[in-house]
Amino acid sequence: MIVAIDIDAQNTFTPLCPEELPVSGGTEIVAELNAQAALAALRVMSKDAHCREALWRCETPAEMLKPTGLKNADVTWVAHGIVGSYGFRLIEGLPAPTDYDFCVWKGMEPDLHPYGICYHDLEGRLSTGLLEWLQVKGARTLLVGGLATDYCVKTSVLQLLNARLGFRVIVNQAACRGIGLETTAAAWREMAAAGAMRAPAMTAPPTPVAAAPMATPVPTAPTAAPAIAPAPSCGAPDTRPVAMPGPKMPSASKASEASITTSAWSMEGSSG
């Protein structure tokens, strides 16, 4: 079974909330998140859900990333993802939370600031229930996107893989945006080392593996000039590779796992 996962695709991580934690291009991921969901049977979302009294909160960006001394909130951050605020909302164009099949709200306690979607704490002891739910549903392929690549997306992907539950995790590059160039590049390397795969996008097939060339037919001399029949109208040519087609948007039903091949996808590069 294929499951799509939208990680923290909230206004708080976009330029719509410049005083929170805006990620450049954060609002641009909606179409890709919806595209990967169209390939899946189930859809999951997570949201940062913080309170104004958070113990890790600082007042200015200059005070961020300082050690807090808290067990489950490692560094300071400006206020973001405050429950009930505009920043807390999902980016426009995404479904309502009640239209998802499973939801994770992260960091609701004042002393918690987790990054991943699988555990409420930083030590990985207190489960959010997502891993267990995925097991019950028979999930095998996970299509992941969200914000930001170098923090919550990376940590979530590592948690999903380190659980050793047999998930094939595919990170949709076009559905992700990172904060820093160096930290984003490092995040892609870490995810690759853990066994994740990257798809350039879900709205178009990835660059295909070169197909074997077709044999050239031996010409034969015609006995008479045949009548030239008009070419049938078959629409646009099918350019998918014969052996290994990439993902395509289904028109009526969900895609099968066999239709999503990752042989042509890599984790090389650092953008997104």
Q: What is the pLDDT of residues 30-87, one digit of tens each?
A: 999 999 999 999 999 999 999 999 999 999 999 999 999 999 999 999 999 999 999 9
Could you give the CA distance from residue 93 to residue 99 in angstroms, rounded to a whole number? 13
Terminal Cα distance for the chain, rounded? 26
What is the value of pTM for the model shown? Answer: 0.79
pLDDT at residue 194 in the model: 97
Instruction: Give pLDDT tens digits for 80-111.
Output: 999 999 999 999 999 999 999 999 999 999 99
Q: What's the pLDDT at 249? A: 39
pLDDT band at 266 (very low <50, low <70, confident <90, very high): low
Helix/strand/coil percent split, the chain, to 5: 20, 20, 55
- Report the candidate in 95, 59, 89 with the shortest Cα–Cα distance to residue 76: 59
| Average pLDDT of the chain to the nearest whole number | 84
How far is it, in rounded angstroms, from Cα 122 to Cα 115? 8
The tokens 């949709």 sit on which residue?
172
pLDDT of residue 205: 52
Beta bridge partners of 145: 6
